[in-house]
C-alpha cells in the first residue's frame, strides 16, 4: 500500500557513505541498513515496521587462489547458513 504517498526519486547513489552525506546535508531521506548509521551525528534512524528486504550476497575470491583450510571451512559455513537474519 502506498498510504497516499507519491515517491519521487531525485537522486541515485551507489555508495552508502554518499547517501548518508546527502541525507546529512538535508537533500532528502533514504532507506539504508541500521548498521550503516549507528552513531552517525545529524542523522535520525527510524525503524520501519513490517518492511522486509531480501539481500543476496556472494562469496568472491581470486580464480587462481587456492583456499587455505580456514578459508575452505569458512566458505562451507557461509554456504550452510540459510536462515534469514533480522536486525
pLDDT tens string 3-28:
777 888 888 999 999 999 999 999 98
Q: Is residue 68 part of a domain?
A: yes
Please report, for residues 5, 22, 63, the alpha-carbon distance to residue 25 in angstroms, rounded to integers and kept in the order given: 23, 5, 41
Segments forming the whole domain that contains residue 54 = 16-80
Q: How confident is the model at residue 64 (pLDDT cuts 50, 70, 90)?
A: very high
For the question of whether the overall pTM of this predicted structure is more than 0.75, the answer is no
**Domains identified in the chain, total number:** 1
Please report, for residues 4, 7, 20, 27, 71, the alpha-carbon distance to residue 54 in angstroms, rounded to integers and kept in the order given: 25, 21, 21, 27, 26
Q: Is residue 47 part of a domain?
A: yes
Q: Is residue 73 part of a domain?
A: yes
**Structure-model confidence comparison of residues 25 and 2, the more confident one:** 25
Q: How many CB atoms lie within 10 A of CB 19?
A: 20
pLDDT tens readout for residues 32-45: 888 888 878 888 88
Amino acid at each position: 500500500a502506498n498510504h497516499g504517498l507519491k515517491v519521487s526519486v531525485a537522486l541515485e547513489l551507489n555508495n552508502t557513505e554518499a547517501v548518508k552525506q546527502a541525507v546529512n546535508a538535508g537533500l532528502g531521506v533514504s532507506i539504508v541498513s541500521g548498521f550503516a548509521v549507528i552513531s552517525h551525528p545529524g542523522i535520525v534512524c527510524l525503524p520501519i515496521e513490517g518492511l522486509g528486504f531480501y539481500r543476496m550476497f556472494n562469496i568472491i575470491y581470486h580464480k587462481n587462489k587456492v583456499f587455505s583450510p580456514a578459508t575452505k571451512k569458512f566458505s562451507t559455513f557461509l554456504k550452510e547458513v540459510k536462515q534469514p537474519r533480522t536486525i
